[in-house]
Amino acid sequence: MTEKYQNRYRVSSARLQQWDYRWAGAYFITICTQNSEHSFGEIENGAMQLSKIGIIANVLWFEIKNHTKNIELGEIVVMPNHIHGILILKKTGDDNANGNDNANGNDVANVETLHATSLPSQPPNSSHPSPPGKNNFMASIAPKSGSISTIIRSYKSAVTKHVHRLGYDFQWQSRFYDHIIRNDKSYNNIVNYIITNPQNWDTDKFKD
């Protein structure tokens, strides 16, 4: 487990509002189904038994690396009503230009955030245009190309389209959770949590 992380993706920003989710780093992602529906299967004898929807969700997660540059996939588990996975954004030449010095190895506070993966849009030629300040604010919080939010939004969309094409009823929760992994110990603890999640389903906080 340590070999994959190796202190390469430790982050130095202690303020979430200043963190750019396109920067290199390891991100622990949790995505839930709408209303905690058990769409992905069930736990039997401590092991996850994937439904057809669960199989699609699992397979398409591994497709992320084929549609996103500079990304590495960590551990993943598909649970009855949620998915836990690690996404590792690798450093690019743009990171330093954007003020990202996360390669220096400084630890940060334990940060967990909740993201929306869709934003309301205003129809063209609206008779009530948004004021410039609001437009600037919306642009600032909108998912950026190559960001964690954009990657997750694309993944969720792909799963939904494939599932609906097969005639199944399925919806995601509109938001997802992310946790910026700060060091090797945290990374290994999260990997262990993901691997043992099915065995610990009875005490899982996501179990309804």
Domains and CATH numbers, the chain: 2-119+127-203 (3.30.70.1290)
User: Can you give the pLDDT at residue 17?
Assistant: 55
Residues 152-168 have a mean pLDDT of 96
Residue 9 has pLDDT above 70, yes or no: no
User: Can you give the pLDDT at residue 79?
Assistant: 98
Encoded tokens for 37: 């529906």
User: Quick check: helix, strand or coil at residue 58?
Assistant: helix
Q: What is the pLDDT of residues 134-157, one digit of tens each?
A: 555 444 445 556 788 899 999 999
Residue 191 has pLDDT above 90, yes or no: yes
Report the percentage of the chain scoring pLDDT > 90: 51
b/e map 164-194, b = 16+ CB within 10 Å: eeeeeebebbeebbbbbbbbbebbeebbeeb
End-to-end distance of the chain based on CA atoms, in angstroms? 30
Residues 71-100 have a mean pLDDT of 82
User: Can you give the pLDDT at residue 6?
Assistant: 57
Q: How far apart are CA 37 and CA 189, in angstroms?
A: 27
Residues 125-136 have a mean pLDDT of 51
- Model confidence at 129, pLDDT cuts 50, 70, 90, reads low
**C-alpha separations of 105 from 7, 90, 148, 182 in Å:** 7, 15, 21, 9
User: Can you give the pLDDT at residue 13?
Assistant: 35
Residue 167 has pLDDT above 90, yes or no: yes
User: Can you give the pLDDT at residue 46?
Assistant: 95
Residue 128 has pLDDT above 80, yes or no: no
User: Can you give the pLDDT at residue 147?
Assistant: 85
Q: Show the beta-strand stretches assigned E in the chain.
A: 25-33, 41-44, 47-50, 71-78, 82-89, 112-116, 172-181
Encoded tokens for 120: 């309301």
Residue 169 has pLDDT above 50, yes or no: yes
Whether this prediction's pTM lies above 0.75 is answered by: no
Q: What is the pLDDT of residues 16-70, one digit of tens each?
A: 556 677 778 999 999 999 999 999 999 999 999 999 999 999 999 999 999 888 8
